[in-house]
């Protein structure tokens, strides 16, 4: 019976509702487990079952299972999901949830979807980092323009304040002269009749004094305006300083993110290659033990009975030594390819383990580089030696550990005009590196 997607969809909405109802209890057991995660997993299983119904299967061997196939097991788990949640969140987390995750994984492997490529991940990280850098550049440009405008305003305010101070000095000088004129006018007004013609001069002096007082008030008003502009400019300068500090922090965060992404991308690439080798090694181990079991079974069925007939006392069933030798030789020739396969599988298993160790060492080196780099910035010579050693370590080809013959010669123009020339021979790799390590890894 097929039509797995329809059968699975009969309980899909009921299961999603049950997961939403048990949200709080599930999250208390598994922090971060949201109903959306369970809903996504159930919908993905339904989609994969639809592909199985349409025979869109790349690796059908992953659908095998005991006692039921993977699609039947998924439908059985979906039918009991609501009852599992009703029995308690602990029962669901311990029994049902791992089985659903395993069913989804095996369906993904069978259908052939869900594979990711390292280059796509690195490209996505680089695009995200470029967007952060572009936004930081735009912000820095805007802040620089505002800072330039504020500096011009501040210079204008300083010039205006200097002019007001100069006018204040002139006003103070004029005020002193006015006081002297007033004293002279008072003396003249208190004089005898012969001095009466000077009253006109006193009136003129008083009019001038009134004009000077008006000028003094105007100067005072300008001084107050200049002080206000100076305070506003000081406040703007403080804001600009805060914006520049935030921009510096943003730039530092962007650099840290770029450094961490580069480190994680390099180490992640080595780690994924190591995991691929580990999966291959498991299959070769299974093959190795399977061949041994096959050889033992073959010997028990075909070789041991033949040997027992040679030493049997019953003349009717006994065979001559020549016949037994011929039959034994035929059976050994038949089983010889199995021995060759056993040797090949063992050698392949050992080679894969050696390559895993090499990739693990390179992963550790990539993760440790940035910590060493921060500590060795104060010693340029030591930092250069570290970078040279890292370059030589990363360009080593894993085939050198297997004793395979590898002949290669390449001349590559690296970043900033750095030239790299490498030559490799069997069984080891001799590398001649002509480059500026500071240009190649200094900004990694």
Tokens matching residue 380: 């340029």
In the predicted structure, residue 336 carries a pLDDT above the cut 70: yes
Inter-residue long-range contacts of 42-46, CB under 8 Å, 24+ positions, other chains counted: 42/12, 42/15, 42/16, 42/78, 42/100, 43/12, 44/104, 45/8, 45/74, 45/78, 45/100, 45/103, 45/104, 45/107, 46/5, 46/8, 46/9, 46/12
Confidence band (pLDDT; 50, 70, 90) for 45? very high
How many angstroms separate the CA atoms of 437 and 395, rounded? 13
Give the whole-angstrom CA distance, residue 299 versus residue 264. 52
Report the pLDDT averaged over residues 135-140.
Answer: 77
Interval 378-408: pLDDT, tens: 667 777 777 777 777 777 777 667 665 544 4
Average pLDDT over residues 410-416: 41
Mean pLDDT taken over the chain: 76
186 φ/ψ sector (left φ>0, alpha ψ -120 to 50, else beta): alpha
**pLDDT one-digit tens code per residue, 284-334:** 889 889 999 988 998 888 778 777 766 665 555 556 777 777 777 887 888
- Of 187-201, 277-291, 343-357, 427-441, least confident by mean pLDDT is 427-441
Integer Cα distance of 122 and 208 in angstroms: 83
What angle, 0 to 180 degrees and rounded to 10, lies between the N-to-C axes of helices 12-21 and 35-53?
Answer: 170
Of the pLDDT bands very low, low, confident and very high (cuts 50, 70, 90), residue 256 is: low
Q: What does the block give as tokens for 434?
A: 């002509």
Judge whether 161 and 227 are in contact, CB under 8 Å. yes
Q: Would you state the pLDDT for residue 420?
A: 44
pTM (2 decimals)? 0.31
Q: Indicate whether 212 pLDDT > 60.
A: yes
User: What's the pLDDT score for residue 232?
Assistant: 83
Contact 429, 397 (CB under 8 A): yes
Longest CA–CA span in the chain (Å) reads 181
pLDDT greater than 80 at residue 176: yes
Query: What is the DSSP track for 348-396?
Result: HHHHHHHHHHHHHHHHHHHHHHHHHHHHHTT-HHHHHHHHHHHHHHHT-
């Amino acid at each position: 019976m097929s039509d797995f997607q329809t059968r699975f969809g009969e309980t899909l909405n009921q299961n999603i509702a049950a997961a939403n109802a048990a949200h709080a209890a599930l999250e208390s057991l598994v922090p971060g487990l949201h109903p959306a995660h369970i809903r996504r997993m159930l919908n993905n299983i339904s989609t994969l079952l639809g592909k199985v119904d349409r025979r869109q299967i790349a690796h059908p061997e992953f659908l095998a299972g005991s006692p039921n196939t993977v699609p039947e097991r998924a439908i059985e788990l979906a039918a009991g999901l609501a009852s599992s949640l009703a029995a308690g969140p602990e029962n669901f987390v311990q029994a049902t949830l791992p089985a659903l995750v395993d069913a989804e994984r095996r369906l993904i492997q069978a259908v052939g979807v869900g594979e990711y490529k390292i280059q796509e991940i690195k490209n996505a990280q680089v695009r995200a980092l470029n967007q952060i850098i572009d936004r930081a550049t735009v912000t820095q440009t805007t802040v620089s323009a505002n800072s330039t405008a504020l500096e011009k305003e501040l210079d204008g305010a300083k010039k205006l304040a200097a002019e007001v101070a100069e006018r204040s000095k002139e006003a103070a000088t004029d005020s002193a002269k006015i006081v002297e004129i007033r004293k002279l006018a008072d003396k003249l007004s208190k004089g005898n009749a012969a001095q009466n013609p000077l009253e006109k001069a006193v009136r003129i002096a008083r009019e001038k004094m009134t004009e000077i007082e008006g000028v003094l008030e105007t100067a005072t008003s300008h001084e107050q305006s200049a002080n206000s502009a100076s305070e506003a400019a000081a406040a703007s300068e403080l804001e600009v300083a805060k914006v520049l500090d935030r921009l510096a922090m943003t730039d530092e965060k962007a650099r840290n993110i770029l450094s961490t992404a580069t480190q994680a991308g390099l180490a992640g690439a080595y780690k994924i290659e190591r995991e691929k080798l580990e999966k291959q090694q498991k299959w070769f181990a299974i093959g190795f033990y399977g061949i041994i079991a096959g050889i033992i079974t073959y010997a028990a069925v075909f070789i041991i009975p033949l040997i027992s007939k040679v030493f049997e006392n019953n003349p009717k069933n006994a065979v001559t030594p020549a016949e037994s030798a011929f039959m034994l030789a035929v059976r050994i020739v038949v089983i010889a390819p199995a021995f060759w396969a056993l040797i090949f599988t063992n050698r392949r298993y050992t080679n894969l383990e050696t390559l895993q160790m090499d990739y693990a060492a390179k992963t550790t080196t990539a993760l440790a580089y940035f910590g060493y780099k921060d500590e060795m910035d104060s010693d340029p010579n030591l930092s250069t030696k570290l970078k040279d050693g890292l370059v030589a370590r990363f360009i080593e080809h894993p085939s050198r550990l297997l004793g395979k013959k590898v002949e290669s010669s390449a001349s590559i123009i690296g970043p900033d005009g750095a030239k790299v020339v490498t030559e490799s021979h069997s069984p080891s790799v001799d590398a001649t590196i002509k480059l500026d390590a500071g240009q190649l890894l200094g900004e990694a």
